[in-house]
Amino acid sequence: MSPFSPPPGDGHPGMPPRPLPEPLPEPLPAPAPRPRREPQPRQASFAELGRPLGEVTFVVVDLETTGTRSSENEITELGAVKVRGGRILAEMATLVRPAGPIPPFISVLTGITDAMVATAPTIDAVLPTFLEFARDSVLVAHNAPFDLGFLRDACVRGGYPVPAWEHLDTVRIARQVVTRDESPDCKLSSLARLFRADTEPTHRALADARATVTVLHGLFERLGNLGVTTLEDVHGFTRKVSPAQRRKRHLAEGLPTGPGVYVFRDATGRALYVGTSRSVRSRVRSYFTASEPRTRMAEMVSLAQRVDAIACAHALEAEVRELRLIAEHKPPYNRRSRYPERAVYLRITDEPFPRLARVRAVRDGGTYLGPFSSTAGADLAAAAIHEAIPLRQCTARLSPQRPSAACALADLGRCGAPCDGRESPEDYARHVTAAREAITTYPALVVTAARERIAGLAAGQRYEDAAVHRDRMLAFLHGAHRLQRLSALTRVVEMTAAVPTVEGGWDIAVIRHGRLVAATTAPARTDPRPWVWAARASAETVRPGPGHTPCASAEETERIDRWLSSPGVRLVGLDGEWASPATGAAREVFFLRGQDEHRGSAGTVTPGRVRRPASR
């Protein structure tokens, strides 16, 4: 039967006729409409409603301390302001007597001296009052990890249970709602000016806490314009990840899981950002799945179209490759290490009456101080040297045969006036020798003069002038310390070092004249010596040049020196002598440890990177 044939019984031959259908029954009556049921009211939970910011009690807290490490330093002042709905409910402020003396640098910064805290209560007596004051409140601080870290350590040392504080960080919020055009940075002083705080931050706890209250309310006003009205909204706002970021998670697929360097590139292949990680894939993936407080990084991710990665043997090789790639490509979203050629040095000139001069490169075997990251740091170091040693500060080229008129520094006793013949070349040479010794082996002459000057000014309550001399001394120590550390390492012809890995193997590095020339990892349960021999045999050949960074950038050599100073590193081979002067800058920095760690100082030395000085 064709598919188009009529159905059986409809006139087709040989088929019985189809019976007629039964008549349809009478339609049933339509049902009566049911009455409309109104939705029953339901009590929403607090989790659904959220806590309006105007109904939350906040305790804005600020601390002054003897340093930046909560495990080693102590609280010297505590200030807190309790606010709700834009109104101040209560305030709390007290000095705190630490167990040890307050470093002079901290006294200069905060104005808090040992005499002021002599009769103050200890933290054990203050902490219970603060815990009761902040009970059932949300803590707020500017750079909250700093203040909360000190409070948690104080609770642990005092035997109190550490509260699970819910907190907000005004720095983190400001980075997302304050633009660079409005404020150059997110420091408390800058934000206080932006929001026109009545109280100016002065590095005193209560004043800084009051200024933070104004900043907090100003940030809340901006968040309200963005639809953020509850505390839960604020937490979500600081953790938010845009859908555009999430859609780029596939860029992390296929990247190495071990240490290495990653390069974000745009559609044209230009390098946007270079970074390093011990696990490249997880770090790159975090750019697309985790909150990024830096607005420039969110902008970079929006432009990125692919991510390239270079697998490395261990973390040191990754750090060095990162520095080299940044210096080569100068990615726009890398702020640091982009221009190593812009380093500044102080050089003792080669002329009958030498002086200090700023230069951009080391081209000979003369005496250099640095490198400094800016001319301001170099000028501070030069001022510290001139305070202790009467080197001439004029820029004219002098000759003993043609004397010239002396400047005002000669009348002030700050220059021997070799220009008009008062000081012979032989007498002036003593100052040059002292300056060379201060730079290369014995900085105590400059440091002692600066300390005496700081002590005298502080005794006369001229703290701002004392801070200027403090900054000069630290800038000089920073330059001398870098010079001596780098010179000690770059003098070594070849060095092989190894550090044990968690798996039981060895991370091996070969360094020649301060440059990483080979890196490898010996697996666990194998003899590492063949790996060492192979690394040496395949290492890059370098030719030394003048200066204390002849074969690599100063930052690369510093990274290597830091790695060599880390726990567990063992020297496998050494061709040459690796030593620092026993009376050098490392000793001065070691004695200043914990004292030069303060906020807002120029040219600070990082004590955590210092080894104990070794004799020659």
Kindly state the tokens that stand for 54.
Answer: 């105007």
Q: How far apart are CA 590 and CA 439, in angstroms?
A: 17
Kindly state the tokens that stand for 243.
Answer: 């859908």
Burial label for 194, CB within 10 Å (0-12, 13-18, 19+), is middle
Burial label for 288, CB within 10 Å (0-12, 13-18, 19+), is buried
CB burial readout 332-341, b (16+ within 10 A) else e:
bbbeebeebe
If phi over 0 gives left and psi between -120 and 50 gives alpha, with beta otherwise, what is residue 421? left
Cα-based angle 543, 547, 335 (whole degrees, multiple of 5): 95
Asked if 518 contacts 572 with a C-beta cutoff of 8 angstroms, the reply is no
Kindly state the tokens that stand for 81.
Answer: 């302001």
Q: How far apart are CA 518 and CA 536, in angstroms?
A: 7
Q: How far apart are CA 431 and CA 414, in angstroms?
A: 12
Instruction: Identify the bridge partners of residue 368 per DSSP, sorted by sequence position.
Output: 347
Question: One of 12, 142, 167, 203 is an active-site residue; which one?
Answer: 203
Q: Look up 203 and say whether it is catalytic.
A: yes
Residue 329, classed as helix, strand or coil, is helix
Cα end-to-end distance, the chain, whole Å: 111
Q: How far apart are CA 528 and CA 506, in angstroms?
A: 7
Q: How many CB atoms lie within 10 A of CB 364?
A: 11
Asked if 235 contacts 227 with a C-beta cutoff of 8 angstroms, the reply is no
Half-sphere exposure of 29 (CA within 13 A, CB side): 3
Residues tagged active-site? 203
